[in-house]
Amino acid sequence: MRKLAALLLIVPLAGLAHQPHTWLDPAPSAILGSRNWVPVEAFFEVPASTLATAQKWLQKSAFVALDKSDVALFGQPDFTCQGDAKAYLVRAQYVTSGGSWFSIFWAQRRALVIKNVSDTTSGEVHQSAVVVCLTHSPSIVYSFISAGVP
């Protein structure tokens, strides 16, 4: 009987271990009212050639602080942050790769929102990452995928 009880406890836990992990949750509409945009020159998308490395670094957290030498690993060795800003590697996601671009803004409660604008909002969501200069770490990172102009 004990073995049966132990098995009944293990089976549901094993099922939880195989559920897909969400790369980024969508931004709740309640926080989107106030937007403080990050300048486009203060971030870049990680190239496909280094995406696997970025995914490994971001395996446990939506963002990680980078040393200056780390930035070069992600494709732009001359990229530097201005003033007190520090480079962070941050999760991002998109729907289409051909006609889309990223923009980044701070929302309420120190939430960082990684926005992707594309021709469509339907389709499979793909993982990506950005290197962005921030003056402080975010409390949380969200995704916001939209169609049309930013």
Render the burial of 131-147: b for 16+ CB within 10 Å, e for the rest.
Answer: bbbbeeebebbbbbbee
Domain boundaries defined on the chain = 22-147
Give SS3 for 88: strand
| Greater pLDDT, 86 or 8 | 86
Terminus-to-terminus CA distance in the chain, angstroms? Answer: 61
pLDDT of residue 8: 39
Can you tell me which residue has the tokens 């094993």?
A: 14
pLDDT, tens only, 73-95: 998 999 999 999 999 999 999 98
In the sheet that holds 140-147, the strands lie side by side as 36-37, 101-106, 111-118, 140-147
Is-contact 145 94, C-beta < 8 A? Answer: yes
pLDDT, tens only, 103-124: 999 999 899 999 998 877 677 8
0.85 cut: is pTM over it?
Answer: no
